[in-house]
Amino acid sequence: MVHKKIENRTISVLTWEFRACLKDIPDNLIFHLKRFDFNLRTMQRSKINDYFSFPTKIDMRPYTIDYLSDPDTPGPEDIFELVGILVHSGTAESGHYYSYIRERPSSGSAETWIEFNDDLVSPWDPETMEASTFGGPDFRYDNNGIVYDKNYSAYMLFYQRSNTLRTDEETMSVPLKVDIPAEILDHIRNENTYILRRHCLFDPNHAVFVRRIFEHCVVHSGACSPEHKAEKAAMQAALGHLDQVVSRTKDIPDFVDYHDMLAKAVKNCPSCALGLFRYFRDRHESFRTLVQRNPEQLVRADSGDLLMQAVATIKRRLPEVYGVVEDALGQDDADGWVHTQDVVVAQVPHIFDTLWLAFHIHLRSWNEVFGIMLRFARLGELETVVLLNSDLLSRMFRIIQADSSIDLAPNYQRMMTNLLRRGLNRPPNYENVIALADHLMSVLQPILGPDSIVEKADTRLLMYCHGETSPAWTSTEVLTAHQEWTTNPGSSIFVSKLLEINQSLQATDNIMQRLVRANRQLALKVFQTLRGNITGQMLQGHSNAPYLRAAIACCKASDDDDTVLRMLTHVIAQCRQLNNTEGRAFLEFFQKMYGAPSPGAAVSPWSIFFNMTAQIPKWTPYLLGYYDGEVRWQTDEFLQRAIFDYGVAPVFEPEAGGERRKEVLISAARELGLNALVFLRDHFIQRRVHVAKDMVFPLQRVVAKASAYFNLEPDEPGPDQEFAQMSQSKPLSFFFLFFFFFNLRLVRADFEHHC
Amino acid sequence: MNTDFRRFILAATIRDGVNQKLLYQTQKLFASMQESIRRFVDPYLVVNSIKTYDDTLIDIHNQMDVDEFYNLLFDRWEFQLPNPDDKKVLRSFYGGELVQQVKSKECEHVSERLEPFSAIQCDIKGKGTLQDSLQAYVGGEIMEGGK
């Protein structure tokens, strides 16, 4: 016993020795390196990053109780080999674990190690073991002489007894598999199949494979079988593949083949057609993805075409499935029919409704989306009414009419935003929007009145079934067409926007004509809009051509002479101060508007014709002197055909205008001559402008031709004298000398030929 | 690889999916690692069936000591094994037995106590190699007490 003196007291001290040693070591031995330290004073955990090495092989016998009890008797070694290292990177609070594990049994002669780091598995070179796992100072990053400890190092070590390793190596077969409970194994195998199928799905050969199956079942076997079971399955597979894979593969290499194959099937076989229709009827989103959202125009157009082809075949070959309305017309069960949802013709609009939900987002596919609707409408009157019933016409109107200055419903507002984002240079394709509007309008009641307007769109199908063959307008449709610009009262926003879009010209003209014929109020509004937008002035960003063109159609549709004449007068007035570059459009207006009515026509066309003839001298000089040579020459031609071809003494049959026509003609020729001279004098001579001969030549020609209608040596004052004086005046005659006589002879020769 | 351990887990009988949830999920995990063609398997289902000693689920955002986690995991596995024999077998894969010796300097008496261990705790501080650490482990400590 030991005695110690502490604070004046004598204490006996007892000493104990504690130690631990190993008795039974498992084949798989784990060492836990105590790198996390808890400081009792600060109550903080900290990590010890000190350098700590470990061997690839270690003899554990020296640490067993057997050895320690009798160290002088050496026993057999108990060698363990390093097979796994768990590394911690980070701090006591947070970090990341990853492992290095030795492959056992080894796949070759050398040891191979693998790094397992979450989902990343890669080969690891054990030569880097010290650098990667022993920790200690990191000499690579020497910031101004300060060396930091690596924050990553081994944390747990796994050793395996050597002789078991050897045994394993001899007995284990590769791949190493143990038995798995049946239920779990089945589940994994099914999942594997699914993964594999998904992987193969995008293999280029898969598309070919599915196509061949379809061709085998449907195309090659001639006619489809009555039961249609294999064909139906093939159709489902082909459509599913088209939808999910073929239409989305870069460069769409298989799409055309698929389309052609399916198109042929739905054209020839009503069951195939029905199968295709039902596939998309039950999968609106798939259809939408193909037709509205696919970036390839071909995919959008052809997919829509497939569906409509199928619908057409069903209509033709399976009318009861399609929906035959004749049975319902005028009978009591008309109401029942209208609400029937089973028939194909009633299901199609639901697909269109799904497309409609996103029309304002996908502007680039408008042509294809509305193209399908148009194609459906063109199948017949019933289809047109069905679409009117789902308010499609007012939607088309509102698309056309939309402008930032008016109150718009949210989806139209978003459409405007997207339109602006596209930029003015890249307007969307309105062709089918307008064509569809035109087609839908074509069945409506032609005259707008209290009897031909209803409140809601969806009463029209019911009325149709009750025998009302010409649907009424809805108040929304009427209001949209009527709505006026706040900055320009009396002018229709719809008309302006329609003409500014300037697409689908024939359909546009049709629409314009219907509006003119609908009622007087609307007609007035139309013409006022036109007049307001036809100007000789040079306006930035404004084009007269669409309005001039529409004006022709509207004049032809109008039965009100005053309106037509007022339009003519307006255009003529603009022509007389033509400062913009649209001479051709103005000329074209007159070229198209002017023409003798057919023999025996009513009074009204003749009166307009005479009026137009009389007005020829008012505008032609301006176009004869226009800067664009093509316009000058064409005006010259116009005058030749309209006036000079008839000569100085034409004779017209009574049905062809008679004496009145002759008078008007001659009077016009004379006025023309005078006006041409005045124009020359005012624009070229008095201004003393130097111009190319080409510029004045047409005017001079006309003067020369007109001279035949004058007495050039008159006795008394009057127009003839005026003409003679002006044409012979010094400055003018200087121009004319040669041309005058030369052309006079030409003109005379023409006359003799005519008379 | 420790295929014996894998085999052992996969052969365990599952009768009660609720109370043997961890064991079952472990079976599925091992089976997937062996049989699945996936590139990796996410063990979240296994982790979600481990309850801490406070009977709550593990918070994966909290860094846990590996030794602590290891012991918890083995405890839970052991608890869910149906047979008492299986429990012993589980412990035999990775654990062993050590001896705690106390020797008094005053007399020749040595007392020994057998204790199971799952992993050998190695000191890092002041030790540069594994052998140094093990030497210290079995080297013992001297403690004094006064009267």
Say which amino acid occupies A292: Q
Q: Would you place residue A326 in the very low, low, confident or very high pLDDT band (cuts 50, 70, 90)?
A: low
Confidence of residue B60 (pLDDT cuts 50, 70, 90): confident
Name, in order, each residue with C-beta under 8 angstroms of A611's C-beta and a sequence gap of 6 or more: A565, A568
pLDDT digits (tens, 9 = 90+) for A643-678: 999 988 899 988 888 899 999 999 999 999 999 999
Q: How far is A283 from chain B (nearest CA, A)?
A: 31
| Span between the terminal Cα atoms of chain A, in Å | 162
Going by C-beta distance under 8 Å and a sequence separation of 6 or more, which residues neighbour residue B108? Answer: none
Angle subtended by helix axes B66-80 and B21-35, to nearest 10: 110
Q: Which residues contact residue A99 at a Cβ distance below 8 angstroms, ignoring those fewer than 6 apart? A: A84, A85, A86, A87, A115, A116, A117
User: Which of B2, B68, B100, B110 should be substituted to probe chain A, the one whose Cβ sees the most A Cβ atoms within 10 Å?
Assistant: B2
Q: Which pLDDT score is estimated for A753?
A: 46
Q: Where are the alpha helices (DSSP H) in A30-181?
A: 65-69, 129-133, 162-171
Coil vs helix vs strand at A6: strand
- pLDDT beyond 60 at A52: yes
Query: A74 vs chain B: nearest CA distance in angstroms?
Result: 17
DSSP string covering A396-439, please?
Answer: HHHHHH--TTS---HHHHHHHHHHHHH-TTS----HHHHHHHHH
What pLDDT is attached to residue A754? Answer: 45
Determine the distance in angstroms separating the CA of B46 from the nearest CA of chain A, rounded to an integer: 15
Partners of residue A65 in chain B, C-beta under 8 Å: 99
A687 or A101, which is more confident: A101
The per-residue pLDDT for A536 is: 92
pLDDT score of B65: 80
Dihedral over Cα of A246, A247, A248, A252: its sign: positive
Which of B 60-89 lie inside 8 A of A, CB atoms?
63, 65-67
Question: Over the stretch A519-554, which tens digit does the pLDDT of each residue have?
Answer: 999 999 999 999 999 999 999 889 999 999 999 999
Would you call B103 and A16 a contact, using CB atoms and an 8 Å cutoff?
yes
| Mean model confidence pLDDT for chain B | 88
Nearest in space to A308 (alpha carbons), one of A361, A348, A335: A348
CA distance B55 to chain A (A): 23
Nearest CA distance, A98 vs chain B (angstrom): 12
Contact A192 B36 (CB under 8 A): yes
Question: Tokens at residue A85, please?
Answer: 């290292």
The reported pLDDT for the residue numbered A720 is: 83
Shortest distance, CA A104 to any CA of chain B (angstroms): 6
Task: Report the SS3 class of residue B145.
Answer: strand
pLDDT tens digits, residue range A327-357? 555 555 556 666 667 889 889 999 999 999 9
The region of weakest confidence among A83-87, A196-200, B76-80 is: A196-200
For B11-60, the DSSP string reads H-----TTTTHHHHHHHHHHHHHHH--SS---THHHHTT-B-TTS-B--T
What pLDDT score does A338 carry?
63
Question: Chain B partners of A180 at a C-beta cutoff of 8 Å?
Answer: 10, 27, 31, 34-35
A748 versus A22: which is more confidently predicted?
Answer: A22
Mean per-residue pLDDT over chain A, rounded: 88
* CA atoms of A6 and A641, how far apart (whole Å): 141
Backbone φ and ψ for A401, nearest 5 degrees, come out as: -75, -20
Residues contacting residue B59 through CB under 8 Å, at least 6 positions apart: none
For residue A747, the model assigns a pLDDT of 46
Q: Judge: A34–B99 Cβ closer than 8 Å, yes or no.
A: no
Pairing mode of beta strands A113-117, A146-149 = unpaired
B120 and A53 within 8 Å at the Cβ level: the answer is no
At A694-739, the pLDDT tens digits run: 888 899 899 999 988 988 777 788 888 888 888 777 665 555 554 5
Q: Is A282 helix (H, G, I), strand (E, B) or coil?
A: coil
Among the partner-chain residues A58, A86, A185, the one whose CB lies closest to the CB of B66 is A86
**Contact across the interface for A188 and B35, Cβ inside 8 Å:** yes
Best residue of B35, B36, B59, B108 to probe chain A, by most A CBs closer than 10 Å: B35
> Counting Cβ atoms within 10 Å, is residue B17 exposed (0-12), middle (13-18) or buried (19+)?
exposed
Across the range A89-100, mean pLDDT stands at 91
Question: Using alpha carbons only, what angle is made at residue A165 by residues A161 and A166, rounded to the nearest 5 degrees?
Answer: 120
Burial class (CB in 10 A: 0-12, 13-18, 19+), A156: buried
Residue A399 has pLDDT above 90, yes or no: yes
Residue with tokens 């204490």: A11
Angle subtended at Cα A346 by Cα A340 and Cα A348, rounded to the nearest 5 degrees:
155
Answer yes or no: is pLDDT of A373 > 60. yes
3 state SS of A119: coil
Cβ A20–B106 below 8 Å, yes or no?
A: no
Instruction: Please tell me whether the overall predicted TM-score, pTM, comes out greater than 0.80 for this model.
Output: no
| 3 state DSSP class of A140 | strand
Interface of B with A in 93-122 (CB under 8 A): 93-106, 114, 118-122
Residue B12's closest CA among B37, B30, B36, B39?
Answer: B30
The pLDDT, as a whole number, for residue A731 is 61
Question: Does A26 sit within 8 Å of B31, measured CB to CB?
Answer: no
Q: What percent of chain A clears pLDDT 70, i.e. is strictly above it?
A: 91
